[in-house]
Amino acid sequence: MFEVEFLNSDIFRWIILPLLIFAARVVDVSLGTIRIVFVSKGKKTLAPIFGFIEVIIWLLAISQIIRNLDNVICYIAYGGGFAMGTFVGLLIEERLALGTLLIRVITRMNARDLIASLRTQHYGVTSIPAMGPEGDVNVIYSVIRREDLKKVIDIIKRFNPNAFYSIEDVKFVSEGIFPLKQPASRWYLQSALRWWRKGK
């Protein structure tokens, strides 16, 4: 009896229910954003699982909207949850650092030291002499893991702060030279620490 009265109360209808809808939308849109990333990266197992959970949560949220068509606060909560979920999903995707990238560097300086440093760190490097608008340049290509992007950019800036570089997503790589991955337990520990530090 008490539960029925509580569900029909103004507190539940105008405060708790909109908050639940907001939270559900944040979760399902975050999952949807990550699912799209998984699809683009070819993660054939994870993408359907995330899609299934996403749709179930969405159905629960939209069913409450339909039952409370006269509750404007629910509409606002639904839209706000969608916006916040998109933001949260992008943050999660950024911190997961999934996938492979192609980084292209164009520099007028002698690139010998930069190439040597990248190769010392076990990155595959291809260097091509080219002609730029102001003279000879070196074009350097390297396919890297996304999680290594900051490290590679730091190396580039250390040897040539004015170098031009561009970054592109790579969906599939057949072969490549990459730094050896750390053991799984150590990788998860460092990922957790990196997540915690970014959250500061």
Give the pLDDT of the chain (200 residues) as one tens digit per residue: 556 666 667 788 889 999 999 999 999 999 998 898 888 777 788 889 999 999 999 999 999 989 888 899 999 999 999 999 999 998 888 787 777 889 999 988 788 889 899 999 889 899 988 888 878 888 999 988 888 889 999 999 998 888 899 999 877 666 556 565 655 445 445 555 555 455 55
Q: How far is CA 36 from CA 5, 48, 121, 125, 145, in A?
A: 41, 10, 32, 30, 19
With contact defined as beta carbons under 8 Å apart, do 41 and 101 qualify?
no
Query: Beta strands of the chain (E only): which ranges?
Result: 100-107, 126-132, 135-145, 164-170
Which residues does residue 136 pair with via DSSP β-bridges, in sequence order? Answer: 131
pLDDT at 110: 80
With contact defined as beta carbons under 8 Å apart, do 105 and 164 qualify?
yes
100-178 topology per CATH: Alpha-Beta Plaits (3.30.70)
pLDDT at 199: 52
What are the sequence ranges of the domains in the chain? 2-96, 100-178
As a whole number of Å, the end-to-end CA separation of the chain is 46
132 token code pair: 């730029």
* Exposure string over 30-53, b if 16+ CB within 10 A, otherwise e: bbbbbbebbeebebeeebeebbee
pTM here? 0.64
- Residue by residue, DSSP assigns 109-156 as S--HHHHHHHHHTT---EEEEEEETTEEEEEEEEEEEGGGHHHHHHHH
